[in-house]
Structure 1
Amino acid sequence: MRFIPPLLSTALSVVLAAGLAPMAHGQTDTYPDRPITVVVAYPPGGSTDLTGRAVADQLSKKLGVPVVVENVGGAGGAIGAQKVSRATPDGYTVLLGANNEIAINRLISPAVKYSYKDFTPIGLVASQPMVLVASIHSGIRTVDQFISTVKAKPGKYIYGSSGVGTALHLSAEMAKQQAGLFMSHIPYRGVGPLTTDLYGGTVDFGVYVLSSGLSHIRGGKMVALGITEKKRSAVAPDIAPLADHPALSNMDIGVWFALMAPPNLPEAITARLRKALAESLQAPEFRKKLEDSGSTVAPPNVEMGKFLADETVKYQKIVTFANIKE
């Protein structure tokens, strides 16, 4: 899901800032009167892209103008996110981002120069749990077995995720911290290579976004130990939360998606976008598409300032504990 290359500083430096000139009053009165671009900071095909296209489709219906998705991949989402943080605040360029590019990247890499405060939050869109799995070769079938086995032989066991500093990596480190475990981490460039190694028993455990791991679990190719959010998922109610185990009672971390605009967006345009998003979240076809993909649609009117601040504090504690940096 996330890989920040050594040349991140150079890559980010080429993202040019658009002018931040204040808008004339008449421009806010007529908004929107031309197409809007939703930047997705990953290539097509992933969960962020799917969510972004579903949001774009609904916003187009609510706002009455074309809303197009622009995929700006690279640097674990940082290139696309920075592009939006520096765009003209006119409501015609917004970001459909996940927690990695909005809140986590800045905590991991000094090359990332923006933070979640460099956006105008429009609203939370959806969230999805991750799932901790065991290789069928490990012989581990329950959370209790997982904790007792890893504790008995510190350092012997290995888990994989889709990259250093991803939400998946942080979720496993959160479990390690809470249960007092010592496992080694192998970062992969995506879930494909991780899946191959889990199938073969090269790694003992792995973390997936639930929608990515479910087919492997249902096919009996790996064992679901538990989901990372406290509430059960409607798409997989048979998989218990890790938090049901006393040693992991504070486990509550997921992948979330939010709509963000450049800083200093005029209040009238911010209100227009927030209203359109709130209406989109209630559209039956939108809810079905996201729920079928494993996501839970966010409740309306989440207080985004507090949400983002709380999430960042959570991630910072994990990053500090695990000494994650690039």
Structure 2
Amino acid sequence: MQSIAPKSGSQIPDPLQRSASRQAAVKILSLATIIVVAMFATPPAAADWPHDKPIKFIIPFGPGGFDTYVRTLAPVLEETLGAVVVPENVPGAGGRIGANRVYRAKPDGYTIGIWNMPGMSMPAVVGEKVRYDLNKLSWIAQVSFDNYALAVKADSPIKSFDQLCNLGRPATFAAQGGFTETASIAAVITMAELGCPYKLITGYQSSGQATLAVMRGDVDARINPLGSLLPYVNSGDVRLLLTFERHASVPGVPSIVELGHEEFVNFGLRRVVAGPPEMPDDIREKLSNAFLHAMQTERVQAWSLKSNNPFSPLGTAETAAQMDSVMRFYDSYGELLRKEFKGR
């Protein structure tokens, strides 16, 4: 049989060479697959975040103090992050609807919220079921901390906390909303721990209405953030009996520490920013730095001084530690509070 020789210049394919080529192709395809999967599976790094997607900033309340803080910070955050920041009011159920929205969001940095602490921890402390776990949140920054103060009507015959405790009847406190309002919790713990008879009068729909009840003499007293009470003090409508500060800042008004109860300096309103659980550390840190920068800008500081809305900036690690301390403090009074609010 005649053999056919290869044409001049042609090569006979080497089986080993073909096998090596196939292996190289498989490796390239596998590497490409890994890269594509990683693009979809790996959370975005801070260097690549944010893109052209807006950041939703959830406010779990209607217009008011929380709303004002967020809308003041949002434009400065936009400049710092290079992304649109959209404040969104999601009120209802004492802030729980908005809290649930943040908690269930993707932890990609595009949904964050401002939290009322310790207010958002109170339902769980008194035994109510909630759909979020504060211990799993990605804490970003503390915006403000306003110590509480206790006020009475300006011309009230009650001149001291000791007199408030010894009226011969329960001292009445105006409570905004329900029994688990943070200020109401402070009143319950303070009065119960000091052995003072008291009664909460609930149903006031706003802090202003509750303070008005004090001004009219409908109730004996009201606990509220010091910054919220000072305008009424300056107008001569209410008078402070004490502040829940470590060092008294109002002349002639004692602090709770002077009464021998340093632990009660924990009573106050904290406005804290957090995102969903498992937010990547680098994105959380970038957000935290943006908030810290925004709170120090001349524009925001000018607003703070003019409006008497102070800032108490803390970064992500400090905020997480502070929230852990706050929650442990209130949990320690869980039995007392559950007993107080049982059946109400």
TM-score by length of 1: 0.82
Count of paired positions: 298
> Which residue of structure 2 aligns with residue 37 of structure 1?
56
> Which residue of structure 2 aligns with residue 4 of structure 1?
none
Deviation track 1:18-72 (CA, whole Å, cap 9, x = no partner) reads xxx975456654211121111010002x111112222322211210111110000
Counterpart of 1:81 (choices 99, 103, 108) is 99
Asked whether the 8 Å contact 1:143–1:245 carries over to 2, the reply is no
Distance in 1 (CA, whole Å) between partners of 2:42 and 2:314 is 33
Which secondary structure state, in structure 2, belongs to the residue aligned with residue 88 of structure 1?
A: coil
Range with bigger deviation, 91-100 or 50-59? 50-59
Gaps of 5+ in 2: 1-38
> Which residue of structure 2 aligns with residue 111 of structure 1?
129
How do 1:187-226 and structure 2 match up within 5 A? Answer: 187=202, 188-226=204-242
Deviation for aligned residue 1:285: 2.5
Distance in 2 (CA, whole Å) between partners of 1:293 and 1:183 is 31
Gaps of 5+ in 1: 1-20
> Which residue of structure 1 aligns with residue 170 of structure 2?
156
Deviation for aligned residue 1:180: 1.8
Distance in 2 (CA, whole Å) between partners of 1:68 and 1:26 is 20
1:184 equivalent in alignment to 2:199: yes
Cα distance change of structure 1 residues 24 and 302 upon mapping to structure 2, 3 Å threshold: closer
Deviation for aligned residue 1:78: 0.7
Asked whether the 8 Å contact 1:104–1:165 carries over to 2, the reply is yes
Deviation for aligned residue 1:79: 0.6
Asked whether the 8 Å contact 1:124–1:304 carries over to 2, the reply is yes
Asked whether the 8 Å contact 2:119–2:182 carries over to 1, the reply is no
How do 1:46-195 and structure 2 match up within 5 A? Answer: 46-108=64-126, 110-136=128-154, 138-147=156-165, 149-150=166-167, 153=168, 155-163=169-177, 164-187=179-202, 188-195=204-211
Range with bigger deviation, 84-93 or 104-113? 104-113
CA-based RMSD of the aligned residues comes to 2.5
> Which residue of structure 2 aligns with residue 13 of structure 1?
none
Cα distance change of structure 1 residues 137 and 22 upon mapping to structure 2, 3 Å threshold: farther
Whichever residue aligns with residue 242 of structure 1, its letter is S
Asked whether the 8 Å contact 1:43–1:49 carries over to 2, the reply is yes
1:324 equivalent in alignment to 2:341: yes
Whichever residue aligns with residue 90 of structure 1, its letter is D
Range with bigger deviation, 130-139 or 293-302? 293-302
Whichever residue aligns with residue 245 of structure 1, its letter is E
Range with bigger deviation, 66-75 or 242-251? 242-251
Distance in 1 (CA, whole Å) between partners of 2:182 and 2:254 is 17
Cα distance change of structure 1 residues 128 and 241 upon mapping to structure 2, 3 Å threshold: farther
